[in-house]
Amino acid sequence: MSSETKILKKSSVQKLIEILASANIRLMAPQKKGAALIFAETKSASEISYDHIQTDLSAKSVLFPQTEEILSYSYAGRDVNMKEREAESFPELVLFGARPCESSAIGLLNAVFTWDTQDVFFKTRLAKTTVITIGCKKFDEYCFCTSVGCSPADKRFSDIFMTPVSDEEFYVESLTKKGDDLIKRAAAVFTMANKTIDVEKELAKVPVLFDIDALNKKLPDLFNRVEIWKEQSLRCLGCGACAYACPACACFDIQDESGKEGGKRLRCWDSCGFSTFTLHTSGHNPRHIQAERWRQRVMHKFSYFKDRLKSIACVGCGRCSRNCPVDMNLSEHLKSLMEA
């Protein structure tokens, strides 16, 4: 939006948090909780981590919480009183320090949650969240954003994009009205940038590992090559660490929790890697071995999602592979699918 670029000093972030807090806006940023680096509400700038490659869990939970109440009910004699959750009461948020890949993954979540039914919870959260992305100066052997159409300078779904120009300073570009509004609100912490910089030049150069369009075209033909999926998934243990760490996985399950006086209906993350994901009431399971669940994970992200929603459902952040307890490495397996 605004063509004016600004500078934000790390030392001013505390002031930013205070300005936002005075307007009842919460700042969610990467910070250490126990042994894990995750996004959580931050009151002190000293808690914010900047130096990581990726957080352990993505920023997904800010817009799509792992467990979310969607309605509650109470009993009154023989009647049941239902109460829908009022999305309007959600707080205003600033998602601070997301990586470009996970910010662009918001677009994938948005595609799912506005595909047919308009998901009021996701849409309201997104409308009330200002996304401040920090471009990547470095990457590791698990990153493959450039192979799936993203990059360390990807600005999609960011309201403000910040490029580290020194250890202490960020070069700030506002991309939307929400970004402009935030800079206006916190004008005291931003200073004018005295020159324009070539952001892409400042940021990491992640090598391209495979041709995503060719892979997308090839996948339908690989569906019946059972031996490939079996071989790749032999060591997979069928947990949900990959899906839950993923910024783009959006599957959920509905759980009712009831007590004597009433109860709640909750939306909870789910994962196609679990054997119970497709288990029928009859006891039949159409995906009865892990190979079929692994194939579903790959096909959904790199074939079906594109057919339906025009995009690949992966941003190459590498969290699935970093977090996998048995070293299932997505980019390696995608490369080997190209060679199959």
The token pair that represents 181 in the structure block: 């509004």
Distance between CA atoms of 262 and 140, rounded to whole angstroms? 49
Task: Give the nearer residue to other proteins in terms of CB position, either 162 or 215.
Answer: 215
Give me the least distance between CB of 328 and other proteins, in Å please: 9
Those residues whose C-beta lies under 8 Å from the C-beta of residue 206, and which sit 6 or more positions away, are 136, 139, 143, 144, 145, 146, 151, 152, 316
Q: Of 25 and 266, which has the nearer Cβ to other proteins? A: 266
| Least separation in angstroms between CB 248 and other proteins | 16
| Least distance to other proteins, CB of residue 178, Å | 29
Alpha helices in the chain (DSSP H): 13-22, 60-63, 100-113, 120-127, 177-185, 199-202, 212-222, 226-233, 241-245, 290-299, 305-309, 319-323, 330-339
Q: At closest approach, how far in Å is the CB of 210 from other proteins?
A: 14
Please check whether residue 4 is in contact with residue 192, taking contact to mean a CB–CB distance below 8 angstroms: yes
Q: Which is nearer to other proteins, 105 or 143 (CB)?
A: 143
Per CB under 8 A, residues contacting other proteins are: 33-36, 38, 56-57, 66-67, 141-142, 230, 233-235, 237-241, 243-245, 253, 255, 257, 266, 268-269, 271, 274, 276, 289-291, 323, 325-327, 329, 332
Q: Note whether 48 and 63 are within 8 A (CB).
A: no
Smaller CB separation from other proteins, 215 or 291: 291
CA 280 to CA 161: how far, in whole Å?
A: 45
Least distance (Å) between residue 112 CB and other proteins: 19
Of residues 99 and 322, the one with the C-beta less far from other proteins: 322
Nearer to other proteins, 79 or 327 (CB): 327
- Candidates 152, 151, 302, 295; CA nearest to 214 is 302
Whole-number minimum distance, CB 339 to other proteins, in Å? 14
